[in-house]
């Protein structure tokens, strides 16, 4: 008499080869008809899948396991973000930013406690309406995260369909004020203050004004990144914050195109030499008491400096922030006649459309000035300048 094959009980699992990796299954319960409820996990290696199954088994033993029927959107989001981080799809800094977005969603009781299958169009719409006081960029991130998690829910068969697919993204009540460049007069005034007064982080502010570098890139510079012989600066890192808000050096720039080598202009060269001379006994150029300096720290001092010395002209429209130093550099380059493609590389933009769209006003102004120069040239040739007489057409 043949032995009857033993059925897997709760907590028992199996791992097998699946497509380009491995798949594991574990029985997590019994349905109303007495049939086993199985949970599947995927991974690149057998070890990875086994570890995932072990976590599920442990959560069942400790009573912390959440079945697919009860999993909430924030719970699935945290699982996905951890997977993305562990599999190197995202950096720690990106993970931290997504977690901040997720915390806003979790702050809403309905979104935090309602299982994904029970989320209603009306309930989620009411939540999104509570976020309209936030900036549009914040609303965009919340909306994209909700939709991504819902699509993943369908993919994992937690949901039969995405019941929030047709929900519309609300607009922010806040008026978005565009960050502008400093005027020439404002720039001259700020330059005089930074070079004659005792202002914290003045070296970083001036370097941003003279090179267009992001402040995170500047604060992550190492001494070895400066090549005085070749007059270049190598940019390959940035300062980021981890999930606890602590500053750390991300070993890659903000974007793929952020990794670049830029030339040191004659204007910036004396400043760079002074920075090297003042650098502490450290591999990094900007360190305070053994800790990295964050963009927020520099930004606070920048705001105080603007107010203390009355640098900003209130008659000029637009918002002035630390990022205005980068805009100022780009605007002066355009006014001097620099080509957009060259500026794109210096700023580390991934696409030239970003450069053109961000500084469209400066490019248009430069275009008008060049047209005026062309008119003046033609006038010198005796063309135009009110001397043109159009022939009347017959009829």
Instruction: Report the pLDDT value the prediction gives residue 383, as an integer from 0 to 100.
Output: 64
Three-class DSSP category at 297: helix
Phi, psi of 253 (to 5 degrees): -70, 175
Question: Residue 129 corresponds to which tokens in the numbers above?
Answer: 């309406």
- The structure's pTM equals 0.63
What CATH code is assigned to 184-372?
1.10.443.10
Instruction: Report the pLDDT value the prediction gives residue 228, as an integer from 0 to 100.
Output: 94
Instruction: Report the pLDDT value the prediction gives residue 7, as an integer from 0 to 100.
Output: 46
Distance of CA 63 to CAs 56, 57, 66, 72, 347, Å? 10, 10, 9, 17, 52
> Cα Rg for the chain, rounded, in angstroms?
29
Instruction: Report the pLDDT value the prediction gives residue 8, as an integer from 0 to 100.
Output: 45
Instruction: Report the pLDDT value the prediction gives residue 106, as an integer from 0 to 100.
Output: 95
Instruction: Report the pLDDT value the prediction gives residue 367, as an integer from 0 to 100.
Output: 61
Instruction: Report the pLDDT value the prediction gives residue 101, as an integer from 0 to 100.
Output: 95
Instruction: Report the pLDDT value the prediction gives residue 279, as an integer from 0 to 100.
Output: 83
End-to-end CA distance of the chain: 112
User: Which residues of the chain carry a pLDDT beneath 50?
Assistant: 1-11, 393-395
What CATH code is assigned to 68-176?
1.10.150.130
Residue with the two structure tokens 């903000």: 254
Across the chain, the runs of DSSP E, i.e. the strands, are 13-18, 21-30, 36-43, 226-227, 232-235, 238-241, 247-250, 260-263, 287-288, 291-292
Instruction: Report the pLDDT value the prediction gives residue 269, as an integer from 0 to 100.
Output: 93
């Amino acid at each position: 008499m043949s032995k009857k094959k033993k059925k897997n009980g709760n907590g028992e699992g199996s791992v097998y080869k699946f497509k380009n990796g491995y798949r594991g299954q574990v029985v997590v319960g019994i349905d109303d008809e007495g049939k086993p409820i199985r949970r599947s996990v995927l991974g690149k290696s057998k070890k990875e899948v086994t570890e995932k199954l072990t976590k599920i088994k442990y959560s069942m033993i400790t009573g912390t396991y959440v079945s697919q029927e009860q999993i909430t959107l924030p719970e699935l989001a945290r699982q996905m973000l951890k997977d993305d981080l562990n599999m190197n799809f995202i950096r720690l800094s990106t993970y931290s930013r997504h977690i901040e977005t997720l915390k806003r969603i979790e702050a809403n009781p309905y979104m935090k406690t309602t299982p994904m299958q029970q989320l209603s169009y009306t309930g989620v719409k009411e939540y999104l309406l509570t976020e309209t006081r936030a900036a549009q960029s914040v609303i965009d991130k919340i909306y994209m995260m909700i939709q991504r998690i819902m699509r993943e829910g369908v993919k994992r068969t937690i949901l039969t369909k995405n019941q929030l697919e047709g929900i519309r993204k609300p607009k922010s009540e806040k008026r978005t004020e565009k960050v502008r460049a400093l005027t020439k007069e404002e720039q001259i005034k700020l330059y005089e203050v930074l070079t004659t007064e005792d202002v914290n982080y003045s070296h970083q502010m001036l370097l941003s004004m003279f090179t267009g570098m992001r402040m995170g890139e500047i604060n992550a510079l190492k001494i070895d990144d400066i090549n005085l012989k070749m007059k270049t600066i190598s940019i390959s890192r940035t300062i980021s914050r981890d999930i606890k808000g602590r500053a750390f050096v991300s070993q890659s720039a903000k974007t793929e195109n952020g990794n670049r080598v830029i030339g040191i202009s004659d204007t910036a060269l004396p400043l760079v030499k002074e920075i090297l001379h003042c650098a502490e006994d450290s591999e990094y150029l900007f360190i305070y008491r053994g800790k990295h300096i964050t963009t927020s720290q520099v930004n606070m001092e920048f705001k105080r400096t603007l107010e203390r010395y009355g640098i900003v002209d209130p008659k000029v429209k637009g918002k002035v922030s630390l990022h205005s130093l980068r805009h100022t550099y780009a605007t002066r380059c355009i006014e001097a006649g620099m080509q957009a493609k060259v500026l794109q590389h210096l700023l580390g933009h991934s696409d030239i459309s970003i450069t053109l769209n961000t500084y469209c006003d400066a490019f248009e102004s430069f275009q008008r000035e060049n047209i005026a120069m062309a008119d003046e040239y033609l006038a010198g040739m005796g063309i135009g300048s009110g001397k043109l007489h159009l022939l009347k057409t017959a009829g």
